[in-house]
Amino acid sequence: MRLFPSLPASPALASALAVAGLLAGCLDMGQVTVNTTAKVLVRAQPSLKAEADYELASRAIPGTLKTVEGFWVVNPGNTTLLDILTEGYCQYGIGFVEDEWEDAVVRKDFEAQAYHSARATKMFTRCLNYALLRLGGKWREDLFADGPDAADRAANRIKSAVSGQRTPLLWAALALGSAINQNKDNVEMIQYAGTAKAMLFKVLEIDAAHPQRDPVLAAMPHLAMGLVFTAVSPALGGDPKKAEEHFKKALEMTGDRFLLARVHWAKRVGVATQDKKLFRDNLLKVLQTDPAIWPEQRLANEIAHRRARRYLKMEKELF
């Protein structure tokens, strides 16, 4: 007894089956799966940003990043995965590894300080490398060129950036600036402070012509510029006053809900200018603000509260 009638012979059907078989042989099912997964990962990102438990996030992120990295190895042409890895390593370095470094500083555990500082530098280097891959072309070669024309090559490469390269350029600049901040005694690193600033100026130039809809993404170059302007002393190109302007702009653009901007303003500018009132008033304001004021950025605000409490405990040492 036949459960299904036999199909009539058909040249068209035979051809279709032959093509289907050929396609099945040509397609890499791993890459197909990765491409589908990448889209799901993008849709899932808000879950992490809304996380209220700092410890849960700190333990979950490394494994997630390595999983995404594994997907990228399977399909290195997937730009969505590159974007996730770029942002992920920068944010993990700033939000978590630097936190462990700061904790070691407070405890005066010099061995742990060196260890976590090196780890933070590695995270920022990964972020930078992924950002440069995303930018494509000869970005890496031109930004870090040697020789008499090195500065011109870097400047020309940055000037050539187009609006579609805006976000990887932002992360590259933030990664470079953060790495410099962790290696202030390294002359080879310090020399790239000007490059990081030039990249951020280009991002702001692009934003002026093509405003960002996402307020955090729009505020990030100002936050990064504030960090870069306070990464080195005024003698080496730092400028606390300009940093303050950018931190204030970041607060304005996020409706004063992105508390990390206020924390950085208090710590970086307050200490650099030895303005104890600015330092204390802003950190207290952060702690008086519910981290849930912006549910979509709850994790960043939890990190801000954590830093604010730590810095207030360090007040006597900082002033």
Q: What is the widest separation between alpha-carbon atoms in the chain?
A: 91
Mean pLDDT, to the nearest integer, of 62-72? 94
The helix (run of H) or strand (run of E) holding residue 312 is helix 298-313
What is d(CA 268, CA 72) in angstroms, rounded to the nearest whole number?
A: 36
Q: Which amino acid is at 100?
A: E
DSSP-assigned letter for residue 164: G
- Quote the pLDDT of residue 17: 37
Q: Are 136 and 164 in contact (CB under 8 A)?
A: no
Q: Which residues contact 239 (CB under 8 A, 6 or more apart)?
A: 229
Phi, psi of 238 (to 5 degrees): -75, 155
- pLDDT for position 30: 67
With 60 as the cut, is the pLDDT of residue 1 above it?
no
Q: Reply yes or no on whether the pLDDT at 34 is more than 80.
A: no
The beta-carbon contacts of 36-41 under 8 Å, at least 24 apart in sequence, are 37/71, 38/71, 38/78, 38/80, 38/81, 38/84, 39/80, 41/68, 41/80, 41/81, 41/84
> Residue 170's closest CA among 126, 208, 142, 135?
135
Which has the closest alpha carbon to 96: 122, 135, 128? 122
Tokens of 287: 């702690």
Q: Who wins on pLDDT, 46 or 271?
A: 271
What pLDDT is attached to residue 11? 46
In the predicted model, is pLDDT for residue 13 greater than 60? no
DSSP secondary structure, 60-113, as one string: HHHHHHHHHHHHHHH-TT-HHHHHHHHHHHHHHIIIIIHHHHHHHHHHT-HHHH
pLDDT tier at 27, thresholds 50, 70, 90: low
Q: Residue 152 corresponds to which tokens in the numbers above?
A: 């011109």
Find which of 99-108, 140-149, 222-231 is predicted with most confidence, using mean pLDDT: 99-108
Tokens of 155: 């400047």
- Summarised one tens digit per residue, pLDDT across range 127-163 is 999 999 999 989 999 998 888 888 899 999 999 999 9
- Return the higher-pLDDT residue of 297 and 16: 297
Inform me whether the pLDDT recorded for 6 exceeds 60: no
- Which stretches does DSSP call E strand in the chain? none
| Residue 224, token pair as written in the block | 């990064």
Taking 50 as the threshold, does the pLDDT of residue 279 lie above it? yes
CATH code of 53-189, in short, is 1.25.40.920
Domain-wise residue ranges, the chain: 53-189, 212-319
pLDDT band at 40 (very low <50, low <70, confident <90, very high): confident
Q: What average pLDDT does this structure show over 234-240?
A: 85
What pLDDT does 237 receive?
79
pTM for the model: 0.85
Would you say residue 9 has pLDDT above 60?
no
CA distance 84 to 167: 11
DSSP code at position 138: T
The pLDDT score that the predictor gives to residue 294 is 98
Instruction: Check whether 232 has a pLDDT greater than 90.
Output: no
The whole-chain average pLDDT of the chain stands at: 89
> Mean pLDDT: which of 24-33, 150-159, 259-268 is highest?
259-268
In angstroms, the Cα distances linking 64 to 45, 74, 90, 208, 213 are: 11, 16, 14, 34, 27
